[in-house]
Chain A
Amino acid sequence: MNILIFIKQVADTEARIIIKGDHKSLEIENKYNMNFFDEFAVEEAMRIKEKNKDVQITVCTIGSQKAVEALRTAIAMGADRAFLLDGSKAATNDPLAISRILSAFAKKEGFDMILCGRQAIDDESANVGAMAAEFLGIPHVSAILKMEVVDGNAVKVENEIEGGRGIFEVKLPALFTTQKGLNEPRVPLITGVMKAMKASIPVVDPATLDIPQEAVAAEASKVTILSYESPQERPPVKIIEGETPEEKVKNLVKALKEDAKVL
């Protein structure tokens, strides 16, 4: 079975982000990781590989040369192969372009199953998975919490639905987005890290893929970021005075009623 995983390199949640003076660009501190939700995808693929014969795990990302680091992390966890899709000319802010490129690459490489994260923690869009599945004409299940390979060509998954869980039997090929709760991602062993350091990672130019190039070029982006701004600062906290818990609660309720007007 060929498992293909889409991963994204994202700014660490702790990274400092500065909005440049023109409000049109950002300066991001050099702290990046593999997207939190993508780790569950890599881990799940590894578990399938450990339980079944002839499983090959391929990871790919669209990004700059730097994104190779995230691919190496995936190899260190156990992925067999990795590809960097050069994002320098693509409309990387546009989920439409990203999912078009990823699906074209998937079509070219071939796959039985695609795994990707529920959402990227930088743009928090949760778009790419379902969109890539649509371009590939395959079913998807979002935010899976449990997966079982029934036989070589079908899986049973449980996912988060409104107010509970859904249970789906899906014929492969299909795409699944992964969610916290699916598994506990492993920490790579030192041998894995060594292997990842040495792995050669081919760079693919999206121009060589079978997609209408004019649809994925930076100029073609269907979404344009006009400006960035800082979130509104909250005024400093008002610490509620009082000698006893009773007094404090009394003063809090008063403040919530009279100042904040939320009670």
Chain B
Amino acid sequence: MAKDIFVFVELKEGAVRKVSLELLSKGKEIAGHFSSSLYAVLIGHNVKGIAATVQPYSDKVIVIDNEGLAEYRWDTYASVLEGILRKYNPYAVLGGSTVTGKDLFPRLAARFGSAIVSDAVGIDFHDSGIKIKKPLFGGKVISWITCSEDSAIFITFRPNSFGIEKGSLNGEVIEEQFEAAKDPKMNLAGTEKHVSEKVDLQEADFIICGGRGMKGPEHFQVLEEIAGIMGGRVGASRAVVDSKWREYEDQVGKSGKTVSPKLYIGCGISGALHHTMGMDTSKVIVAINKDPNAPIFHYADYGIVDDAFAVLPVLREALKKTREEI
């Protein structure tokens, strides 16, 4: 049987999320190895126009466009995906380890009685199949996992685990119809979305995090400015969130979000284990702390020992200049 690879394409405000393009890029490599096909699965309402975004990255694009799929809910999405997966029988289904992916994939894996590995960070070939790389214990240990192949393998990956390759395919679009079945016992009474222009914290390439050393919420302004210049996001330590200087959704660490941006800058953050567990897979880490013995320097690639208030305005101007040069 052909080992076809499926990628569940996630949308955010009508656009394809970065993590989905990362997974399609990796998925192409896997399908290439197995000489099988890579399918992008695009579901939602008024999404036909979006297919063009994923066509260059996929061999085939399955589109299910249905009014009942306008808002994500596990019940409707799982019922539609179930139909697709039963029809096409893929070898593996990849998705992002995002709020949506973490809600949807386990529900489906249980329905299929399938192997599931979530929050993975890598994938490789093993025997005639695959092995999956997944951190355990907050990143203290890395495990490699194989899965039983008797039904589709479900895997969610942390955003920023893979690079985005330039897409040169022109995937055929296949429109499918499956009923979006609602669970009658669940009624969505409403949503509150803070419409934000900002990138998602977990998907950001650049994160500047403030800790208690920032002294108060007003000092996060300069961090916001730097994040703005870099097209990234501001994060925070738990001490900051507990003090209500920032929202919980900004929290990086064990009890917050796990991030792995290309560049992480921590300012006035001590580097407690609970915090570093959420960011130690960042590609490059910079720490700004006035205490040369702060534990964050054990995790950082580059350190500045100085007062963050003296460094940050200068850093903002310097980064602005690098952006203008491009």
Contacts and interface: CB of A to CB of B under 8 A. Distances in A.
Interface of A: 11, 13-14, 17, 19, 26, 36-37, 94-96, 99, 119, 121-135, 138-143, 156, 160-171, 174, 180-181, 215, 221-231, 234-235, 237-240, 245-246, 248-250, 252-253, 255-257, 260, 262-263
B74 A162 contact: no
Given A130-B110, A163-B193, A163-B196, A231 B302 contact: no
Interface string B156-197: 000000000000000000000000000101111111111110
Given A162-B98, A181-B248, A234 B301 contact: yes
A251 to B, nearest CB: 9
B194 A262 contact: no
Contact of A160 (B99, B110, B254, B283): B99
Given A226-B146, A237-B297, A161 B72 contact: yes
Contacts of B280: 231
Contacts of A249: 304, 311, 314-315, 318
A168 B116 contact: no
22 contacts: A13-B277, A19-B141, A121-B254, A134-B110, A139-B75, A139-B185, A160-B99, A161-B100, A162-B72, A162-B99, A163-B193, A165-B191, A168-B188, A170-B187, A223-B148, A226-B143, A229-B144, A231-B142, A234-B285, A237-B299, A249-B318, A262-B283
A95 B300 CA distance: 34
B84 interface: no
A111 to B, nearest CB: 15
B118 A17 contact: no
A256 B226 CA distance: 15
Contacts of B100: 161-162
Contacts of A128: 106
A255 to B, nearest CB: 6
Contacts of B258: 124
Contacts of B139: 231
B126 interface: yes
Contacts of B136: 122-124, 228
Interface string B93-128: 000001110110111011101111111000000100
Contacts of B143: 225-229
A96 B115 contact: yes
Interface string B219-235: 00000000000000000
Given A237-B287, A252-B302, A231 B140 contact: yes
Given A156-B189, A223-B145, A237 B106 contact: no
A132 B102 CA distance: 14
A26 B126 CA distance: 22
Contacts of B185: 138-139, 170-171, 174
B254 A13 contact: yes
Contacts, number: 248
B126 A166 contact: no
A126 B102 contact: yes
B304 A226 contact: no
Contacts of A143: 99, 103
Given A134-B107, A134-B111, A164-B193, A225 B119 contact: no
A215 B249 CA distance: 38
B138 interface: yes
A223 B193 contact: no
Contacts of B103: 130, 142-143
A140 B12 contact: no
B305 interface: yes
B33 interface: no
A140 B314 CA distance: 49
B236 to A, nearest CB: 14
A17 B322 contact: no
Interface in B287-310: 287, 292, 297-307, 310
A36 B189 contact: no
A121 B277 CA distance: 11
B47 interface: no
Given A126-B119, A224-B146, A262 B262 contact: yes
Contacts of B300: 234, 237
A139 B292 CA distance: 51
Contact of A161 (B119, B183, B191): B191
Contacts of B144: 225-229
Contact of B322 (A131, A248, A253): A253
Nearest to A263: B322
Contacts of A225: 143-145
B263 interface: yes
A72 to B, nearest CB: 23
